[in-house]
Amino acid sequence: MAAFTLPEVLISTTLFVLLLGGVVGANLFGMRMYQLNETKLKAGDGVRKTLGLMTDEIRKCKNVWLGNATNGNFVSLLDAEPQTGSALLIQPTTNATNFVLYFLNPSDQSFRRSVTATATTTILAQTVTNTTIFRAQDCFGNILTNSQNNRVIHVTLEFFQPQPWLPVGNYSKLETCVTRRRLD
Amino acid sequence: MAGLTLVEVVVALGISALAVAGIVGGYLFSIASAQKSALSLAAGAKAIERVEETRSAIWSISSFPPVDQLVATNFPDEVVILDQNAAGNGITYGTNLTQISQISVDPPLRRIHVDCVWNFKGIQLLTNSMETCRAPDR
């Protein structure tokens, strides 16, 4: 029985290498796309849970204030100032010492939640790039200049994460609007 | 011993190409599905935003004079951005269509229905809907 000739072996090996290259290339392509989507979904999932919690808290709260936070200390916006800021203070009841504070910590670009009742601060999201996270608007979308009762709290979170295996970074943005249900 | 004929080689290459194309096609389909899901979530979120805006409209029947901002003319069709790439182009738009109808006069109750209509890759028109009911003086 005759063995394979050298040209036969070379041709079949080349074909095999081409096929293998195609399969590996397809897998690498898929892995890149998977990585890109995984990062997006993970970031999105965590923040969606956060926004869900925040939405519930705003809907049922007694008072909600917009402002800015420095080292976790909240400074409320005054009337006549555009109601846009990096922090949101939610009072579930009329007890002013009991509140939940959502704020951006600019030094590490993290978005945090602080609860006075349990004296805890947790990091909800990282790599947040926008500094104006909250704005209060009326039902027509105009930014308010007072803390009027029936206002919509608009939340915007923008993220940027560099991707080690991709030429471009991953940018994503989440937005939502919430209106307090219990108007006085 | 006879070698492979040209036809055999071409057929073998064709089968290999089909196999690779199938794998790549699978990945492309999965990417398109993920993109569609993301856009669908965004459209849902935009519809919720509109519902929340209608929630903040004043509808007061106990005050004098009564105030009623909760009418469809106050919420015209609105074009919203669902997605755009990092370069700022490749934008996918959606349109929020708002319907407000009176369900009952006594007790007063209105139905708010928001459709976010969007186009997926120019081939498929999709709609995400959100609906709620509202009473006055709230």
Q: Does A52 contact chain B (CB < 8 Å)?
A: no
Measured CA angle at B128 (ends B127, B131), to 5 deg: 125
pLDDT value at residue B87: 62
- For all residues of chain A together, what is the average pLDDT? 85
Query: For B107-123, how does the pLDDT look when each residue is reduced to its tens digit (9 = 90+)?
Result: 999 999 999 999 998 88
User: What percent of chain A shows pLDDT beyond 70?
Assistant: 91
All residues of chain A having their beta carbon less than 8 Å from the beta carbon of residue B12 are 15
The highest-confidence range among A31-35, B43-47, B119-123, by mean pLDDT, is B43-47
**Which of A50, A139, A156 would best serve as a mutation to test chain B binding (most B beta carbons within 10 A)?**
A139
Contact A152/B16, CB-based, under 8 Å? no
**For helices A6-60 and B6-55, what crossing angle results, to 10°?**
10
Q: Does B55 contact chain A (CB < 8 Å)?
A: yes
Domain spans of chain B, in order of start: 6-134
- Average the pLDDT over B122-136 and give the result: 92
- Average the pLDDT over A76-84 and give the result: 91
**Which of B56, B78, B132, B133 would best serve as a mutation to test chain A binding (most A beta carbons within 10 A)?**
B56
Q: Is the pLDDT of residue B86 over 70?
A: no
Comparing CB atoms, the residue among B13, B45, B56 nearest residue A138 is: B56
CA distance B10 to chain A (A): 11
Decide if A112 contacts A142 (C-beta within 8 A).
no
Domain spans of chain A, in order of start: 6-179
> What is the number of alpha carbons within 13 Å of residue A43 lying toward its C-beta?
24
Comparing CB atoms, the residue among B4, B13, B57 nearest residue A139 is: B57
- Compare A48 and A114 and report the one with higher pLDDT: A114
Q: Does B27 contact chain A (CB < 8 Å)?
A: yes
Measured between alpha carbons, how far is residue B80 from residues A51, A118, B77, B88, B96 in Å? 20, 39, 10, 15, 7
- Compare A155 and A33 and report the one with higher pLDDT: A155
User: What percent of chain B shows pLDDT beyond 90?
Assistant: 48
Comparing CB atoms, the residue among B13, B52, B69 nearest residue A177 is: B52
Do strands B67-68 and B78-83 pair parallel, antiparallel, or not at all (unpaired)?
unpaired
The amino acid at A108: D
SS3 A172: strand
> What is the number of alpha carbons within 13 Å of residue B34 lying toward its C-beta?
16
pLDDT band at A181 (very low <50, low <70, confident <90, very high): confident
Comparing CB atoms, the residue among B31, B56, B86 nearest residue A169 is: B86
Measured CA angle at A153 (ends A152, A155), to 5 deg: 135
Give me the residues paired with residue B93 across strands.
B81
> HEC string of B13-77?
HHHHHHHHHHHHHHHHHHHHHHHHHHHHHHHHHHHHHHHHHHHCCCEECCCCCCEECCCHHHCCC
> Alpha helices of chain A — where are they, by DSSP H?
6-60
Query: For A104-151, how does the pLDDT look when each residue is reduced to its tens digit (9 = 90+)?
Result: 998 888 899 999 877 888 888 888 899 999 999 998 889 999 887 788
